Amino acid sequence: MTRLELLHKVKDRRKQAGITLENLAEVSHLGYKTLSRFFAGHDVKLSTVEKLTQVLGLDFAGNEIIDIKTLREKRAEEKAKYIVSLVQDTSALEMQGLESNIIKDLIEETKEQFLTGQYKKNLWAN
């Protein structure tokens, strides 16, 4: 596979995932300028390509490892768990911790909000 073919695959995948360059930089822990250089077709380190493809659910050659639906669901669940953990931590400090079944329900509801609800635009934001 040529570098140009990989670039097209990564661009397509980013578009499918609905992730901005800014959010991709945050999620991948790569610099915005580094990603800009990659998407402009310039040379970047192999470790940059590896991080980038991994975040997007691709292997090093740009082949799909995780389908786009699963990738989005995984991200939504990670964010939902984080948000709910903040609520749980605050509640526990006030001696009003939530029961585990309620926590699971909150995680599912929050996950759905990231996938289809009002927070859909924030799925990839940190």
Query: Per residue in 50-106, pLDDT tens?
Result: 999 999 999 988 999 999 999 999 999 999 999 888 877 665 545 555 677 888 888
Do 84 and 103 form a contact (C-beta atoms < 8 A)? yes
What Rg value do the Cα atoms of the chain yield, rounded?
17
pLDDT at 111 (0 to 100): 94
Lowest mean pLDDT among 9-18, 54-63, 70-79, 117-126: 117-126
Q: How many CB atoms lie within 10 A of CB 79?
A: 21
**pTM of this prediction?**
0.81
